[in-house]
C-alpha cells in the first residue's frame, strides 16, 4: 500500500499501434489492474488523457523525478534515414527522443516486432532506414518482446513480473523472456497429431482443411516460430491464427516479411 507505483514511459515511433491494442485486451492479468494499481503510466500518446505540451511536460516530469528508476516501453522502429525526419514527435526525431528517454531509464521493454527487429518498415527496401531499439541503445538492459503484435497477456505478464520481483524476467540469447518464447508454435499446436500422422490440408478450401488437418503445406511457419500462441492463445485464450484456419506467418521471427511467402514452404 505504501510502495509507489512503478513509473512507465511508453514511446510510439514507427508502428501501427496494434501492440497497444493487444496490451489493452489482456484479461489475465486484466489491464485495468495494471494501469490503475501496479504501474504509473505517465506517458503514452495512445492511452493518456493529456496531449501536446501537457503530455510532453508529464514525460519530462517523470524523467526528472525518477531518473534511473522508470521503465521505458517502446512500440515501433526508429528511422535513421533523412536524419531521422521520417518520424517526428513534439518537434524531435524518434532517434533523438529515444536517446533522451532511454538515458534515465532503469530498463527498456521493446514491444513487438517493430521495436525488436524492425518488422514491416524494415522489410526490403526499408525506405526509412528503420532499425530496432537494440541497434541504437546499447547501454541499458532491453527485454525484447517480438510478435506482430505480441500477445496481450505476455505483455501484461512481463510488466507484472518486473513490478513484482523488481528485476527483469529470465531472457534468452535474443533478449526474449524464456517463459514465453522458449517453445515453437509447432510444439503446442493442437493440429500437431495431424502433422505427425502426415495428414495435411493441400489448399485452404479442400476437404482436409475442413477436417482441421495440419496447415504445413499451405505455408504454416509454426515449426520455426518461437511464441506462446498455442498455449496462451489470443483474446483471453479464445483462439489464435491456426485455430482460425490460417497458418502461422512467423510474426515473432526476425525479418518474417522478407523470409518468404506466407503461403508456401519456400
Q: Can you give the binding site for ligand SF4, defined by CB under 6 A? A: 15-16, 18-19, 75-76, 112-114, 119-120, 148-149, 185-186, 189, 191-192, 195, 214-216, 220, 222-223, 242, 247-248
Q: Which residue, chain included where needed, has cell 531472457?
A: 171
CB of 69 or CB of 172, closer to ligand F3S:
172
From the list ligand SF4, ligand F3S, none, which binds 149 (C-beta under 5 to 8 Å, kind-based)?
Answer: ligand SF4
Contacts of 78 (CB under 8 A, 6+ apart): 13, 14, 84, 87, 94, 95, 98, 130, 131, 132, 133, 136
DSSP string, 4-24: PPEEEEEEE-BS-SHHHHHHT
State the minimum distance, in angstroms, from the CB of residue 219 to ligand F3S: 11
State the minimum distance, in angstroms, from the CB of residue 145 to ligand F3S: 12
User: Quick check: bond before 117 cis, omega within 30?
Assistant: no
Buried b (16+ CB within 10 A) or exposed e, 211-234: eebbbbbbbbbbeebbbbbbebbb
Residue ranges for the known binding site for [3Fe-4S] cluster are 229, 248, 251
From CA 137, how far away is CA 141, in angstroms rounded? 9
Q: Looking at beta carbons, which residue is closest to ligand F3S?
A: 248
Residue ranges for the known binding site are 16, 19, 114, 148, 186, 189, 214, 220, 229, 248, 251
* Residues in touch with ligand F3S (CB under 6 A): 147, 185, 225, 227, 229, 240-242, 248-252
CB of 187 or CB of 207, closer to ligand F3S:
187
- Helical spans, DSSP H, in the chain: 18-23, 31-33, 52-65, 94-103, 112-117, 119-122, 152-165, 178-181, 192-197, 207-210, 229-232
Residue ranges for the known binding site for [4Fe-4S] cluster are 16, 19, 114, 148, 186, 189, 214, 220
Phi, psi of 232 (to 5 degrees): -85, -35
From the list ligand SF4, ligand F3S, none, which binds 75 (C-beta under 5 to 8 Å, kind-based)?
Answer: ligand SF4
From the list ligand SF4, ligand F3S, none, which binds 70 (C-beta under 5 to 8 Å, kind-based)?
Answer: none
CB of 63 or CB of 137, closer to ligand SF4:
137
CB of 109 or CB of 248, closer to ligand F3S:
248
Amino acid at each position: 500500500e505504501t510502495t509507489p507505483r512503478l513509473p512507465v514511459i511508453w514511446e510510439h515511433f514507427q508502428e501501427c499501434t496494434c501492440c497497444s491494442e493487444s496490451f489493452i485486451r489482456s484479461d489475465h492479468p486484466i489491464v485495468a489492474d495494471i494501469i490503475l494499481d501496479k504501474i504509473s503510466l505517465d506517458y503514452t500518446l495512445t492511452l493518456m488523457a493529456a496531449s501536446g505540451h501537457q503530455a510532453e511536460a508529464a514525460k519530462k516530469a517523470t524523467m526528472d523525478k525518477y531518473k534511473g528508476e522508470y521503465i521505458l516501453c517502446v512500440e515501433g522502429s526508429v528511422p535513421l534515414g533523412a536524419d531521422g525526419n521520417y518520424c517526428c514527435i513534439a518537434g524531435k526525431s524518434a532517434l533523438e527522443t529515444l536517446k533522451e528517454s532511454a538515458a534515465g531509464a532503469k530498463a527498456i521493454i521493446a514491444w513487438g516486432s517493430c521495436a525488436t527487429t524492425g518488422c514491416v518498415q524494415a522489410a526490403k527496401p526499408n525506405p526509412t532506414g528503420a532499425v530496432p531499439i537494440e541497434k541504437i541503445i546499447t547501454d541499458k538492459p532491453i527485454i525484447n518482446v517480438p510478435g506482430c503484435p505480441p500477445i496481450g497477456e505476455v505483455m501484461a505478464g512481463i510488466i507484472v513480473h518486473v513490478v513484482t520481483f523488481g528485476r527483469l524476467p529470465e531472457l534468452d540469447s535474443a533478449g526474449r523472456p524464456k517463459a514465453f518464447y522458449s517453445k515453437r508454435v509447432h510444439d503446442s499446436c493442437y493440429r500437431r497429431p495431424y502433422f505427425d500422422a502426415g495428414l495435411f490440408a493441400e489448399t485452404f478450401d479442400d476437404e482436409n482443411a475442413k477436417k482441421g488437418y495440419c496447415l504445413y503445406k499451405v505455408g504454416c511457419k509454426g515449426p520455426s516460430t518461437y511464441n506462446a500462441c498455442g498455449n496462451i492463445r489470443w483474446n483471453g485464450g479464445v483462439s489464435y491464427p491456426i485455430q482460425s484456419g490460417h497458418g502461422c506467418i512467423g510474426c515473432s521471427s526476425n525479418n518474417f516479411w522478407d523470409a518468404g511467402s506466407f503461403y508456401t514452404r519456400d
